[in-house]
Amino acid sequence: MCGIVGFNWHDPKRLEKMAESLCHRGPDGKGEYLDPFVSLGHRRLSIIDLSSAGHQPMPNEDETLWLIYNGEIYNYLEIKRELEDLGHSFKTSGDTEVLLRAYEAWGSTCVERFNGMWAFALLDIKNQCVILC
């Protein structure tokens, strides 16, 4: 089970301390995203995509979206095929990128398509918001 942490200010030391407190939940990697307004941290437990391509926080191509995620979307392969039919391409084999692409395609209503269990924080820089689900 991955560990996710975050808050709405810039504090690298606090973020590192919070993420480190969850190292038992994510021994396979760690990552962070910081800007002047948001701090996001991730501790990774690799289950579906074992490659480094599944590193989080995961950005989209132009880095206007940043995702930290834990859970499993059981129907992610079906959603992935639907997104590929819409023209989306994928660099990973896991459900994290599917969640990111689904948000690009359908906005926050993308979660209505998911069957599974999850917790995520998605920073949408263009719309100046963080989606927590």
* Nearest-5° Cα angle at 103, 100 to 106: 150
pTM score: 0.87
The CATH T-level fold of domain 3-132 is Glutamine Phosphoribosylpyrophosphate, subunit 1, domain 1 (3.60.20)
Tokens 């995520």, residue located: 120
68-118 pLDDT, tens per residue?
A: 998 999 999 999 999 999 999 999 988 999 999 999 999 999 999 999 999
Catalytic (active site) residue 2: yes
Residue 109 in 3-state DSSP? helix
pLDDT at residue 56 is higher than 80 = no
Q: List the catalytic residue out of 2, 23, 110, 129.
A: 2
19-42 pLDDT, tens per residue?
A: 888 777 666 678 899 999 999 988
